[in-house]
């Protein structure tokens, strides 16, 4: 090959401008990083709110369960039927545990005699609320009750009285039981 042809071949590249490398574009990587960080923050906040919501829901369900049981118990406890005094005492004892069951068992004969001598009453729970949850899983519940008693002669108006109680209930297995019952003055 002649030197001239070599020169002509190189001349064609000599008169063209060298191509500049493409400038680095930071827009897309920066946008992707910011989007990923925002997505992670939103997912983290959503998980945090979900955990809090589930915790609140479990607490509300547990409160409702304990309150429902205590309301039923206090209605039965304040509704006295002297004709079924033994059944009344057995029912209350079956729903007790701990100190309450021990004390009730010790005084069961006295309670049966007192109930048998009493007039029939109808107990009603006016209001109940959870006072606090204890470390052992029990709940202290404040209960306001009203007890109505028919007059002995049937002509006088009914006799009504109200009481307040602090009831401690604990879940044993899948059943709530009463572990303490205190009348508040």
Q: What is the pLDDT of residue 126?
A: 93
pLDDT in tens, 93-126: 999 998 999 999 999 999 999 999 888 889 999 9
Question: Can you name the CATH fold of 28-78+120-184?
Answer: Nuclear Transport Factor 2; Chain: A, (3.10.450)
Provide the pLDDT for residue 167. 94
Residue 143 has phi, psi (to 5 degrees) of -130, 135
pTM, two decimals, is 0.74
- CB 138: neighbour CB atoms within 10 A? 21
Confidence at residue 22, expressed as pLDDT on a 0 to 100 scale:
79
Residues of the chain with pLDDT under 70: 1-15, 152-154
Copy the structure tokens of residue 136. 């052992």
Q: Which of helix, strand or coil describes residue 120?
A: coil
Q: CA–CA separation, 167 vs 21, rounded Å?
A: 82
Phi, psi of 152 (to 5 degrees): -65, -35
């Amino acid at each position: 090959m002649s030197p001239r042809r070599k020169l002509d071949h190189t001349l064609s590249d000599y008169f063209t401008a060298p191509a500049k490398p493409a400038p680095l574009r930071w827009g897309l990587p920066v946008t992707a990083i910011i989007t990923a960080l925002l997505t992670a923050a939103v997912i983290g906040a959503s998980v945090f709110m979900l955990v809090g919501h589930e915790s609140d829901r479990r607490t509300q369900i547990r409160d409702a369960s304990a309150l429902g049981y205590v309301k039923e118990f206090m209605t039965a406890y304040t509704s006295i039927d002297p004709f079924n005094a033994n059944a009344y005492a057995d029912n209350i004892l079956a729903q007790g545990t701990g100190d309450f069951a021990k004390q009730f068992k010790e005084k069961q004969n006295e309670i049966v005699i007192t109930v048998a001598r009493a007039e029939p009453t109808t107990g009603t729970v006016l209001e109940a609320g959870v006072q606090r949850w204890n470390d052992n899983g029990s709940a202290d519940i404040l209960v306001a009750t009203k007890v109505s008693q028919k007059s002995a002669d049937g002509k006088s108006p009914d006799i009504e009285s109200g009481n307040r109680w602090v009831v401690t209930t604990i879940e044993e297995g899948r059943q709530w039981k009463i572990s303490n019952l205190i009348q508040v003055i």
